[in-house]
Structures are given as C-alpha cells and as structure tokens.
Structure 1
C-alpha cells in the first residue's frame, strides 16, 4: 500500500509517523508554543531526526468548541512557516491540516504535499475537486458537524457501521472526481464520547474492509487523560499504549506529538510480526 508524495512513493506496509506542528494559540496540548521561528525549526528538526515521515501543520484549532478564525487568518499563520520549513528542510513532506480548499491550494503551491481534512470535504464543497486537481494524497476524517458543535452530535445507530457508511460515501465521491491516494481517519475525539472512542479503537480492524490506509490520531487526547484523571502533559504513557493497540489493529499512520515514542511502538510491533 503506497501513496505518492512529490513523486516519491511512500510504502505504508510498514506504518509511518506524522508529527504534529500546531500554529494555533488554543490547541489543547501545545497551543501557543510554536510562535517563534527558532522554536519551530528546532521542534521540526527533532521530529524529523526522531523518524517522522510527515509533518502535519495546523493553523486552525479543531479542538471541541474552538474559536472559529477566517481563511485569511489561517493563511497568515500558515504560509510563512510553510515557506520557512521548505527552505530549511528541502526534502520535508508536509501535510496541511485544513478543511478549506483555498488553503489547500495555496499550501500545495508553497511546497506541501498532502491535505488532512477533518471534514472529508463536508465543510467546503469544492475541497474534493480541488485536491483531485492538485493530485496529492488526501486524509479524510470522520466528524459530524463542526469543531464548534461536534460534541453535541454523538448519537449513532451503530457506531462502526455508521462510520464505515460515511467513508464509503466520501470515498465514492472522491473517486468520482479522480482522487487516487485516499487515507481514512476514524476521528478519535470528534463527535464521539470517551466510551465510543474506545469502542472504535477496539474494532479498528473493521476499517480494513475500506482497503485504504488508516490514520490514527489519539495523541494526548482527552479519551486518555480524562480516563486517567490526569492532564494532556501527563498522557504520553497512555498515548503509547493506545498507539500500540492501534498498530495491532492495522493502523498505517500514527499522528502524534511525540515522534520518538511512536517510532518505538512501530519498531517493537513490527518485531512481533516478523
């Protein structure tokens, strides 16, 4: 199972790590940390040295009840850092965490190679068409509603079947427009209760029937620290445990704050498989 990034075929048979770079002031774990160029460069260099294949940049916070910002502000936060990173690390593979097609278009033009959309095209009717024309890999995530109201939309007839149906419909829509490299993200923490998140993880193997790589993003989320009566800063050990379970259930990409520990999860789980 491969995806094409800037002409390079990335083999996802062995899982890969996507390191998180948040440029937002209000992200749940590292909001407001990455404000200076030197800090950002040091952080990204560490993630690359620790083994990250992709760096996922987000300039719009998608945490529950996050403040909505304009497209112009998202671009203002994003483009200078994207330029800085591509100039400093010429071979870097950058994913852009956005639901806006214009942000996707300008980011790919500026050197990014993948789009990571929390709404699977549902928050911008031209997103799927835009990504298809850009001919880049596309991560489509499951979410109901928007970040501002998603936690009020946690009712399902059957959690796994409903999410599989959602992806079947979104994949069909993407394919009809010529989109080739599609990755699915079940959306841990988005429109789901803590109990539903663990049901999703327990049955993650079901998503193999979509025949698409699966991205899992559970790093330091509330499904971990609330259950442990801790905080995001104390949730690394829990993240490692759940990332290991996700790999055992077939995850192809781990989206994480802590690259070194995620790489160790992959190395150890691969050893068991050999």
Structure 2
C-alpha cells in the first residue's frame, strides 16, 4: 500500500486519537483505509500514542484510556504531548498580545510555550501562578541583561500542584485584587456541557478567580482537550471570549465551539479572498 504523503506522523496520530475518542475505539484495518497508510504504519502510530498514555492498545485496534476525573498528570508528562500543536497555538496566541498590556498566564504546558513567544514583547506586565512561566521570563532577562522595556512579572504565592501551578487561598487573594487586560488560560478539559474543568479542586478556584479578574479570556488548548471533563468545572464556555486551538480539532467540535465563543485555529492557511 502506498503511503499518504500529505499527512505527517503527528497529524496522522491526531486523527487517530480523535477517531478513538469520538467512536470509543477503532480497528487497525479501519485506520489503514481511512488514512491511506500501511498496517505497519498504523501500528507504529498506536504504539507511539500508547506510550504517551492517551490511548490503550487492544487486539486489532485501540480504545480510549479510562482516566479518573481526579487524575492530574505532571508537567513533564504533559510536555511531551502534542508539541507541534502547542507551538502553533502559542504563535497564534502571541499575536493577540499588545505591547504594554497587563496579562495573566495560567499554569500549563501550552501557556509555557506561549511565554517563550512573549519575552520580546515590550513593556508587558505578566501575572502568573505558574512557576515554569515565571522562570521563562526570569531566564530571558538574566541572559539578555536588564533591558529597558522588559516584562514585569508577578508570581502569585500558593501551594504547588503536579503541573507546577500555585493554587489555594494565598493565590486566590492575590489574584482577586488585580485586573488584567487579558487572561491566557490553559485547561485540562473543555466541553460544551461542562465548560472548562480541572481535576484539582484548589486549581479550579484559582482559575475561577483568574477568569473573574480578566477583561478578556483566551483559552489556549490543543484539540485533545475537547470533550475531556475533569472533576471540577470553573467556567462556562460563555465566559470565554476566544479559543485558540490547532487544526486537529474536528469539524463537529469546531461547529459546537463556534456556537459559544470565537475560534482561532492555529496552523491552518488563511482562506483566500474571493
């Protein structure tokens, strides 16, 4: 069987994962026909996705991983998932940040990627409850020297989560006194029914405070977060202004998102004007 030259490995695996989650399982022979690739290629893709922990291989195919709603992966575990999608999202989200703005960045690996894109934006004030995000700006300033127009970074206090976010009453009180032009929010899960959710109860309350303190809420989340529901919801989709996601989001999901908020799909060419 000839391979489909138009699909990169990561694009193929995103499509496979979407099929598994949407249908509750797929067979290898179905994927070979749908993707136009060999049986061996599909099995390699399933092996890679299984190692990432996002699906479970079974005889002749794959099924979704049955995770508890309280399961919270660590930062390092999440860093290896969808790296190209996160970079595309970060690039698109960075275009929404104006020099001199006061913004908030929540914890998460996608906001971490975004932080790297923002280190050269002049005169930013950045409030974050992410140790990793704060370190990005700290390292950038240390390596380039204290330069005029560098970001002012405010790191909230709080209790550290597995994803290296600071949450709890100390963080909540600090955030409640502040007002941001925009919040860039990473999420564990997003769905039409549950809205934005997380498996960590304390993080849910801190994220709720972040949303309340922002004039504009921008969620940065790759397509694998759609349909995922954590233990605690902290915002409805109607409280979000924009979702910046990647091209792996299915057409059905895009239509559902568009009913509630603005949608930016990163990594896709702009439609040509008529």
TM tier, shorter chain? 0.3 to 0.5
TM-score using structure 2 length: 0.33
Give the structure with higher Rg (CA).
Answer: 2
Structure with larger RCO (C-alpha < 8 A, sep 6+): 1
